[in-house]
Amino acid sequence: MVTDALLAWYVAQGRDLPWRRTRDPYAILVSEVMLQQTQVARVVPRYLAWLDRWPEAASLAAAPPSDVLREWVGLGYNRRALRLRDACAVVARDGWPRTAKDLRALPGVGPYTAAAVASFAFGEQVAAVDVNVARVASRLGREVDALLPAGRAAAFNHAMMDLGATICTARRPSCGACPVAARCVSAGAVAAPPRPGKARQRFQDSDRFARGRIVAALAAREPLPEGLGAERTERAVAGLLRDGLVVRDGDEIRLP
């Protein structure tokens, strides 16, 4: 069966990551939020430092937002840090929801993150479907839920994530190294999606880059960065104010 081959491969080849050595829902939630659109190699040291500083939901909930943002600098999408803190405030007050459905009520927790925490921390038999998992299932020609083995959701979710991240990648799948290639309808026939014809905007020219630079400067207690341009700086600051990532203090802009 596809699932048997996948799980056997995961036992032998699965990535050894610190959040896979715990069933603490807080530690797992921190890892899942950090991993959103951020590479694993960048997350590992930041995850360990975060848990060393705030080892439980209650300690993060009690932390000043400015400290939380300073600790997050460099991980991108700074709103995630404050939403994580908001979620921990709910947990500190009400306790942990234990199902994917209930976890979705936490601030900033969507379907994938809820399913990941529910399966890894609480053993719920639910598939955690991110982009990698959806791609693997699509290439196999199967629905994810149809592949989910009884009683082994956590191992299955980790295995599907690893397969999609390391072998069944979007542009250069390594079908020769795939443990389920013999049962895959797409093996050896996957074509890389075409790259957009229109030139992409450089990240350094984006408002997101400007927002990140401004938050990093404020976190370091430095002046607003030069070289972004007055219009882009103004637009970025307006967005940060709207999202609650900075506040006005007279004529100054600072972290909340």
Q: Are residues 8 and 54 in the same domain?
A: yes
Q: What range defines the domain where residue 209 resides?
A: 203-254
Please provide residue 251's backbone torsions phi and psi, each rounded to the nearest 5 degrees.
-90, 0
Domain count of the chain? 2
223 shares a domain with 157: no
217 and 178 inside one domain: no
Tokens 């196999």: give the residue: 140
Last residue within a domain, chosen from 127, 149, 183: 183
- Asked if 139 and 24 sit in the same domain, the reply is yes
Residue 22 counted as domain residue? yes
Examine the domain organization and report whether 36 and 141 are in the same domain: yes
pLDDT tens track for 81-105:
999 999 999 999 999 999 999 999 9
Instruction: Give 29-86 pLDDT, tens digit per residue.
Output: 999 999 998 899 999 999 999 999 999 999 999 999 999 999 999 998 899 999 999 9
The string over 120-143, giving b where at least 16 C-beta atoms fall within 10 Å of a residue's C-beta and e elsewhere, is bbbebebbbbbebbebbbebbebe
Are residues 207 and 118 part of one domain? no
Are residue 127 and residue 39 in the same domain, yes or no? yes
Q: Does residue 143 carry a catalytic annotation?
A: no
Q: What distances in angstroms separate CA 180 from CA 2, 7, 29, 64, 246, one per listed residue? A: 6, 10, 30, 48, 48
Judge whether 16 lies within some domain.
yes
| Contact predicate 223/245, CB 8 Å | no
- Give domain status of residue 65, yes or no: yes
CATH code of 112's domain: 1.10.340.30
230 and 138 in a common domain: no
162 and 236 assigned to the same domain: no
Final residue of a domain: which of 148, 183, 218? 183
pLDDT level of residue 198 (50, 70, 90 thresholds): low
Out of 32, 124, 222, 234, which one is annotated catalytic?
A: 32
**pLDDT score recorded for residue 249:** 85
